[in-house]
Structure 1
């Protein structure tokens, strides 16, 4: 994973980065960090290829169990795209919430909202990170009712990302939790 991260920082060629990524997956086929690293490599911050991101996410979704450690890659891609539009400012940023009505974003949210907050669905340390991601996305999509059980499952444990995009992560989380109607 360290070599993979360094190769991204050094902006190595795609074959070199993908070769290291494949090496990680031979050791751990559902390595969460490896999938998220490749997603960020393909995404708007580094390579600016939405088509490659969509192809990557489609292939991953087709072969990944719903509760695999890398299951949040699809929703992460949607949140990164949404945040990229927000960061761009202008009219696009004002219309950013329409991102969640696109078929791919809406379906990713639907799949995650159906299962992720169920007790015992995720059995891994990063579950709270994925649940924070889901709560953020549901609130960005104005799906407050669906966000309520996710906030309850999180039980007040805030992660810096994705909440830090709007400012202080704890304050942003609390504002969203209150807007969802979730009590503590």
Structure 2
């Protein structure tokens, strides 16, 4: 196995990135990102921004966030500490999986990351206290182009593993979906 491998997930364009984790008595090492490897897999990701989050309390939910063009972005999400239930929702207009979601459990040190293409909303629930994530983004955050989905929207029917806690005012304020939501036109 090379240092990185990609595994297709049920939603087109969504991938699980598996890192080769090297361990010995000193600890562990893994390559979290390699632009050349992703290009070789046909999934180029040029990084414009790197973010880190720490979520203090188990059950806390953050998301579901996305950006509209021309600032739509790819994201690579890696758990550095603790565990999260990471959710991706297809918001691409015209996609056969429009408004379908997929989730992966990410644990620190498991060598797994979620690779989301442009046109996907992202959110997560902390499965542990002090869950820490590293986000690599292909576009700068642009407040005027942000969008969000309600994490409790019955149309999405996301099966969160724990009772929802600590939604920010911004995240709690995302409207429920209706026929006016056309998604992201890429």
Q: TM-score, normalised by structure 2?
A: 0.32
**Larger RCO (alpha carbons 8 Å, 6+ apart):** 2
TM-score, normalised to structure 1, is 0.32
- Greater share of residues in strand: 2
Going by fraction, where is helix more abundant, 1 or 2? 1
